[in-house]
């Protein structure tokens, strides 16, 4: 395949997604070029479109942080991947296109029991949940995890992984249907935050003990309510800020209950960090996917050219699980 060819891509133009033609990128020594079959849609993509989450220096301006497809070309330093291999990958951008560059160390094999669409739903959420819930928050098998947004891509992943490793899971979600889905997926309890005070519900569910870990993508005024849900020695991990970046903080509960407040973003972490997560996923999570014990939850698919419609669905919050673009 000549690298001077053209590909279809989706670019951002004044906060809108528009099809365009771009040159097919050329892999560097430690990269692979993936012929994209499917790409995941994530809230950071929406934020980038709105000008709130600009791409990293040197990264593609094309949105899209995860892809699945076939290796088309490999860099000169790559020996463990070859043309024709089926892989999914975490990328720093460029996923909404017919071809995408990825660090070879951030690629994972697509298992025989998974389609390209299912595989495209894995990297962003599985890397995020593993690095935050298991590495950063150190979830143990006898602990209780509270997940806000249990029916989201992150939420459905967190439910399955936490249960697979022996933890108890409580989720919040915004409808009876979403709560029912989370329970069916394995959550021990689901709280409809539009009908219940999740703080009081968590206290009842835990006999006033509280939860050991909270995975929160909401932020803002959820912070003091999260503190009220936390058990002694509990950890709060902030991974997004849908309700704002600021909140009033009472330091006393942190002192009395010896709480840990932490958080992270994934996109800006260096290649070595992401490669280490990929290795852990390959060793500890891919066998669970291979056996069918866990599986990605797909809400809907859209053609690449309909990326704007996919973003409309994402922003409506009516979906359960992942939204995928197909190429």
Phi then psi for 68, rounded to 5 degrees? Answer: -135, 140
- Region 6-122+267-326: CATH code: 3.90.180.10
- In the block, residue with structure tokens 């209950």: 257
- Indicate the fold that domain 129-263 takes in CATH: Rossmann fold (3.40.50)
E-only strand ranges, the chain: 6-13, 16-23, 31-41, 66-74, 86-90, 99-103, 107-109, 144-148, 168-173, 189-192, 211-216, 230-238, 260-263, 298-303, 322-326
Q: Which letter does DSSP use for residue 283 in this model?
A: I
Interior angle at CA 41, CA 144 and CA 194, nearest 5 = 50
Check residue 265 and report its DSSP letter: -
Task: Say how far apart CA 212 and CA 234 lie, in whole Å.
Answer: 4
What sign does the dihedral 95-100-101-103 (CA atoms) show?
A: positive
The reported pLDDT for the residue numbered 3 is: 57
Kindly state the tokens that stand for 108.
């994972």
> What are the residue ranges spanned by the domains of the chain?
6-122+267-326, 129-263
Pairing of strands 168-173, 99-103: unpaired
Query: What global pTM score does this model have?
Result: 0.96
Task: Give the integer Cα–Cα distance in Å for 120 and 296.
Answer: 9
Token pair in block for residue 2: 């000549």
**What's residue 2's pLDDT?**
45
For residues 192 and 176, is the Cβ–Cβ distance under 8 A? yes
The predicted structure's pLDDT at residue 18: 97
Q: What's the CA gap between 25 and 50, in Å, rounded?
A: 25
- Asked if 322 and 34 count as a contact pair (C-beta separation under 8 A), the reply is no
Beta strand pairing call for 107-109 and 99-103: unpaired
Assigned token pair, 206 = 């835990």
pLDDT along the chain (327 residues), means of 10: 79 97 97 98 97 93 98 97 98 98 98 98 98 98 98 98 98 98 98 98 98 97 98 98 94 98 94 98 98 98 98 97 97
Q: What is the DSSP string of 147-166?
A: EESTTBHHHHHHHHHHHHTT
Q: What's the pLDDT score for residue 161?
A: 98
Backbone angles phi, psi at 159, to 5 degrees: -55, -50
């Amino acid at each position: 395949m000549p690298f001077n060819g053209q590909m279809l891509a989706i670019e951002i133009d004044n906060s809108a997604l528009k099809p365009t033609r771009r040159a097919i990128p050329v892999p560097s020594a430690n990269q692979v070029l993936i012929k994209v079959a499917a790409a995941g849609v994530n809230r950071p993509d929406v934020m980038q479109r709105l000008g709130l989450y600009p791409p990293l220096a040197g990264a593609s301006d094309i949105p899209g942080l995860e892809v699945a497809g076939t290796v088309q070309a490999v860099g000169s330093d790559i020996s463990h991947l070859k043309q024709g291999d089926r892989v999914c990958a975490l990328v720093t951008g460029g996923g909404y296109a017919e071809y995408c560059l990825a660090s070879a160390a951030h690629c994972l094999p697509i298992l025989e029991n998974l389609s390209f669409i299912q595989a495209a739903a894995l990297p962003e959420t599985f890397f995020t949940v593993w690095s935050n819930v298991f590495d950063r928050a150190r979830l143990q098998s006898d602990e209780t995890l509270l997940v806000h947004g249990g029916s989201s891509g992150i939420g459905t992943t967190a439910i399955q992984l936490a249960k697979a490793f022996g933890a108890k899971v409580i989720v919040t979600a915004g409808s009876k249907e979403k709560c029912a889905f989370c329970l069916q997926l394995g959550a021990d309890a689901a709280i409809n935050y539009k009908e219940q005070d999740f703080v009081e519900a968590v206290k009842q569910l835990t006999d006033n003990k509280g939860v050991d870990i909270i995975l929160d993508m909401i932020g803002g005024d959820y912070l003091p309510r999260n503190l009220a849900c936390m058990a002694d020695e509990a950890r709060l991990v902030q991974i997004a800020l849908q309700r704002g970046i600021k909140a009033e903080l009472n330091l006393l509960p942190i002192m009395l209950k010896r709480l840990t407040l932490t958080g992270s973003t994934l996109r800006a972490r260096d290649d070595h960090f992401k490669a280490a997560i990929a290795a852990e996923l390959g060793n500890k999570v891919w066998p669970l996917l291979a056996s069918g014990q866990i599986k990605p939850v797909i809400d809907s698919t859209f053609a690449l050219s309909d990326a704007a419609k996919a973003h409309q669905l994402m922003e409506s919050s009516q979906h359960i699980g992942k939204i995928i673009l197909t190429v």
